[in-house]
Every structure is written in C-alpha cells, then in structure tokens.
Amino acid sequence: MPPFIDLEPYKAEIISLFHEGHSTAHIASIIEAQHHVRVGERTIKTRLSGWGVSKRDRTATTDSSLHSRIKELFFERCLSDAEILRTVRNEGYTVSARTLRRIRMEQGLVRRTDDSSERQLQDDIATKHLLEAYNEGTIQGYGRELLFAHMRGERLIIPRYRLHTIYRTIAPEAIQQRKNDMQRSRGSYMVPGPDHIWSVDGYMKLDPYGIQIYAAIDAYSRYIIWVYVGIDTRTSVSVARQYLDTVQERKIMCNKIRSDHGSETSLLAQAHYELRKAYEPRIKATECYIFGPSTANQRIEAWWAQLSKSLLYRYRNYFKDLIELGDFSRDMIPDQIALYAVYMPILRTQVSSYVRTWNQHIIRKQPERPYVISGRPYMNYFHPEHTVNHGLLVHEETLQQLRDSVQGWDMAEYLPAETLEWCQEILLGLGFDPEKPPSVRPDEAEAPFRTIYLGLRERAIIHMQSGAKPSLRLSEKPTGAFDWIKQQGSE
C-alpha cells in the first residue's frame, strides 16, 4: 500500500486552482514544484472528491453557455471537433463527441458543403477578402494553416485546399517567396513543457521611427503570451508592466525567462528574480533568467521573421521612403506626432489580429525536425498532451509591490492626452478614423494612408509655428520604477 500523502496543508490552494480551471495533472505539477510534494493526478482527483469538490455537470443540449463556448472555439480558436471536445471537458462540461457535433451543426457551424452554389459563394467571398487583405499587407507570407486560421477568425468558412488554390492565383510571388524562406536551416531547441521558458524580445526594425514592438512566446508551445506595440520612450517600464500584468491575470509564472541583455529588459529580469526569490530565497538570478544575444533566442526570432514577412515589411519600406523623401524626421516633433496619431492604432490592431491568427493556426509535423511540437499553439499551451504545465505559483505580496511600482504609467499612451485629442479632431475632419480605418486604396498599397499622414503633419507644423493652444508635444520617458527595491537594498 502506498504511503499516505498529507495534502491538508495545501487544501485551500488545490481547491482554488481547481476552480480556476487548472486540470488535476497541472495541479499535481504545481504542488510538486512549489512544495516539493510528489503527488499523482489520481490522488488529486480522490482528495477533491473526498472534500466534496466537483465541477458542475452541465446538460449539453440545453446549456447556452456550452453552445456559446463551442461557437467561440470553432471561430476564434479554429479548433477541430476533437480539440473542442478536449477543451470543454477540461473546463467541466459533460458532452459526448456525437452531441458536440450535433450542437455545432445546429448552429450552422459547418466545415464543408457539397452544394455547388454554396461552394461558389464561399469562393467569391474568400476571393474578395483575400484581395483586400493582400492589398493591405496583412497576409503576405502566410502559409496554408495561417491563411485558414485567418479566414476562420474572420468567421468565413472555406476548406483549406480551396482557400490555398485561390491564394495561389492572387499572390504567386508570395507563394514562391515562402518556399524560398522555408529552405533555411535551424538548430534544435528542446523544452519540456508549457511555462518552462518564455522567450522575450523586441522587434527593433521600426525603432528609427519611434515605434517598438515587444512580445513573449512560450518556448514549448510557441503560444504568444503577450505582445506590445508602443513608443520606445516607455518600453523598459512597459516590458516589466506587461510581464507583471500577465502574471497577475494568470496567477502563475514561468520557470525561466530568456532575453537579450538590452536596457529594456533590466526591469523585467529584476521583477522575475524577485518573484522567484520570494518562494526560493537561495535561488540565483542565473537559475531563473537567461541572458543571451537576440540571434540565439530562436523561438521569438523565428516568430519575428514570420511577422515581418506577413505584415511589418511594408511599413518598414514605407517609413524608410518617408525619410528619403524628406517627409519624416525623428528630430521633428510634428513628424513624430503625425506618425504616431495615424499609424499606432493601425499597427496595434493589425499586430493583435496576427497574434490571434498565429495562436490558433496549426504547426505541422516536420519529419526532419522531430523536436518541433506540432499542433495549435493555443492547445499546446492550455491543453498539452504528453506533458504537464511547468508554471509556478506567485507570491501575491511581492507581485503587488512590483505592480505598484509600475502602475502609474499608462502602457496604452503614445501621445499626451491633449495632443492626441487635437490629432483625432484633425483626422476626423480629414474623413479618417485611425481606430476604424478604411480599406487601403490600390494606389497607396505600398504607402498606406500617406496623404492622411502628410495632411496631419502639415497642420501640426502650422499649429506649432503659430504658438496656438494646445501645445503639441510627445510623451515623456518615465523614470523611477522599482525604487522601493533599491531602498530596501540600502536599508
């Protein structure tokens, strides 16, 4: 008979994790990681049952929340029936594969049709959408699975093979370029499971224009944990804030973070080290944070390459042309204000859309790279098979202290309130809303909304030269984050 494991000291923690949606296998791994108590999944299930804790079984045929969840997973996560079934069962719903399929069909969530007129309608809608997206520069570099996930996210249903056939006729050059890009070789990179390592890095190719993009990717599943698009004067504080907000929301943190040794990562490294040290006082910084060159940060660097090919290359080329034509200079405040006002909302929307598409697309098996985890990043992160989550519980008091130090800065700000309000009023007068921009005109495909940018820039120059109110300015760089840590160290 196996020895009895006393879980009473951890009862409240286990019940809390269970009600938050963690699987019993994940709970077992957390208890072992945090308290060094080895316990099996079956033991966790038995104790929960003995404590009278269970998720409420739901009647599949009448539960509207289940119906809504199935629809969300079908469109927003692009899941197969098997993946939907695994997800909803993990979330506590009781439903069979047959019932799930019936619910899906009753909601009109079909995966294919044999009706020729319906097929033609699907093809026509897909062609129109792909042409618009291609002209806007949001799908270049997409492979078969990214295209399919993108269309499903737009709530457009069409099989993969027909979708790719249409795309091949629209963008043969993009198809060939992707084939060329696939030839480059990469090294192996083994990770035991989700939340073991987060790779964090910035995309600096838009740096000359005052724009930085920062992201974290789970090195096992390749799920994008977070992404930030903002101004470079706030990046160091913002990176720490992004991390701390993510940890606060998820209630767990990764074992290790990997990044380059840039100035913007110093606060992040300090925050992660303080959180790990709260439960493990003797842990060394090198045991929980890995510094290295960006080129060695394989997971995030590969993702940046994909994002650049799919979306950002057009902005890089266009902004470079603005400089060469004398229409933009970092030293000219009106130029920077106009660039932020027009393009920051657009970039944030398009990058966020790309992240959603990426997280739900399928990474195919690669026989020549057997260590690559295939499947959807979303499923491999939240519902992994053949492994467990390696996340660690968070010391709430330490987390709150760290968050208090960066809470005063608004991550979303890219222009001071008065300046932004003035810009928005001018832009609306020009018939342009950057939060809901119109489709890019074919003649501006390589220079999106250039006439709008130049119009706002000209008005900003005149306004500043006249000395009129409000006084247009850029956001200031925040300072002083984590001062309380320095003060503690000096006491």
Phi–psi pair at 77, nearest 5 degrees: -110, -10
Reported pTM? 0.74
Q: What is the pLDDT of residue 481?
A: 57
User: Is the pLDDT higher at 95 or at 282?
Assistant: 282
Mean pLDDT of all residues in 91-95:
83
Spatial separation of the C-alpha atoms in residues 267 and 260, rounded to whole Å = 13
Residue 65 token pair = 């929340």
Q: What is the pLDDT of residue 439?
A: 87
Spatial separation of the C-alpha atoms in residues 23 and 17, rounded to whole Å = 8
Write the pLDDT tens digit of every residue in 205-225.
999 999 989 999 999 999 999
- Shortest CA distance to 346 belongs to which of 380, 323, 370, 318? 318
Q: What is the pLDDT of residue 302?
A: 86
Instruction: Evaluate if residue 296 carries a pLDDT over 60.
Output: no
The CA distances from residue 169 to 132, 140, 313, 393, 450, in Å, are: 14, 14, 22, 50, 29
Q: What is the pLDDT of residue 229?
A: 94
Q: What is the pLDDT of residue 400?
A: 94
User: 490 burial class (0-12, 13-18, 19+ CB within 10 angstroms)?
Assistant: exposed
Query: How many residues can be counted in the chain?
Result: 491
Residue showing tokens 């130090």: 405
3-state secondary structure the chain: CCCCCCCHHHHHHHHHHHHCCCCHHHHHHHHHHHHCCCCCHHHHHHHHHHCCCCCCCCCCCCCHHHHHHHHHHHHCCCCCHHHHHHHHHHCCCCCCHHHHHHHHHHCCCCCCCCCHHHHHHHHHHHHHHHHHHHHHCCCCCCCHHHHHHHHHHCCCCCCHHHHHHHHHHHCHHHHHHHHHHCCCCCCCCCCCCCCCEEEEEEECCCHHHCEEEEEEEECCCCCEEEEEEEEHHHHHHHHHHHHHHHHHHHCEECCEEEECCCHHHHHHHHHHHHHHHHHCCCCCHHHCEEECCHHHCHHHHHHHHHHHHHHHHHHHHHHHHHHHCCCCCCCCHHHHHHHHHHHHHHHHHHHHHHHHHHHHCCECCCCCCCCCCCECHHHHHHCCCCCCCCCEECCHHHHHHHHHHHCCCCCCCCCCHHHHHHHHHHHHHCCCCCCCCCCCCHHHCCCCCHHHHHHHHHHHHHHHHHCCCCCCCCCCCCCCCCHHHHHHHHC
Residue 172 token pair = 């043969």
Mean pLDDT of the chain: 85
Write the pLDDT tens digit of every residue in 449-459.
999 999 999 99
Q: What is the pLDDT of residue 464?
A: 97
Mean pLDDT of all residues in 36-46:
84
Mean pLDDT of all residues in 27-51:
84
Q: What is the pLDDT of residue 484?
A: 36
- Lowest pLDDT segment from 162-176, 257-271, 433-447: 162-176
User: Is the pLDDT higher at 134 or at 352?
Assistant: 352
CB-based contacts of 349-356 (< 8 A; 24+ apart in sequence): 349/435, 350/138, 350/311, 351/213, 351/227, 351/229, 351/307, 351/311, 352/227, 353/138, 353/153, 354/138, 354/307, 354/310, 354/311, 355/215, 355/224, 355/227, 356/76, 356/153
Q: What is the pLDDT of residue 318?
A: 96
Residue showing tokens 């404590």: 51
The CA distances from residue 384 to 26, 278, 356, in Å, are: 10, 28, 19
Q: What is the pLDDT of residue 170?
A: 78
User: Is the pLDDT higher at 190 or at 75?
Assistant: 75
Structural contact between residues 245 and 369, judged by C-beta atoms closer than 8 angstroms: no
- Among the ranges 20-34, 275-289, 297-311, which has the highest mean pLDDT value? 275-289
Instruction: Evaluate if residue 369 carries a pLDDT over 50.
Output: yes
Q: What is the pLDDT of residue 413?
A: 92
Pairing of strands 252-253, 256-259: unpaired
Q: What is the pLDDT of residue 376?
A: 92
Q: What is the pLDDT of residue 428?
A: 96
Tell me the angle at which helices 116-136 and 160-170 cross, rounded to the nearest 10 degrees: 50
Spatial separation of the C-alpha atoms in residues 296 and 441, rounded to whole Å = 40
Instruction: Evaluate if residue 251 carries a pLDDT over 70.
Output: yes
- Lowest pLDDT segment from 328-337, 391-400, 473-482: 473-482
Q: How confident is the model at residue 175 (pLDDT cuts 50, 70, 90)?
A: low
User: Is the pLDDT higher at 293 or at 39?
Assistant: 39
Instruction: Evaluate if residue 159 carries a pLDDT over 90.
Output: no
Q: What is the pLDDT of residue 480?
A: 55
Q: What is the pLDDT of residue 127?
A: 86
Structural contact between residues 232 and 251, judged by C-beta atoms closer than 8 angstroms: no
The CA distances from residue 189 to 168, 186, 247, 355, in Å, are: 32, 9, 25, 22
Structural contact between residues 383 and 87, judged by C-beta atoms closer than 8 angstroms: yes
- Among the ranges 37-41, 128-132, 177-181, 273-277, which has the highest mean pLDDT value? 273-277
Write the pLDDT tens digit of every residue in 422-451.
999 999 999 999 999 998 888 888 899 999
Residue 398 token pair = 């330490």
Q: What is the pLDDT of residue 487?
A: 39
Spatial separation of the C-alpha atoms in residues 213 and 208, rounded to whole Å = 12
Spatial separation of the C-alpha atoms in residues 203 and 212, rounded to whole Å = 6
The CA distances from residue 386 to 94, 232, 383, in Å, are: 23, 41, 10
Write the pLDDT tens digit of every residue in 308-334.
988 899 999 999 999 999 999 999 999
Instruction: Evaluate if residue 264 carries a pLDDT over 80.
Output: no
Instruction: Evaluate if residue 485 carries a pLDDT over 50.
Output: no
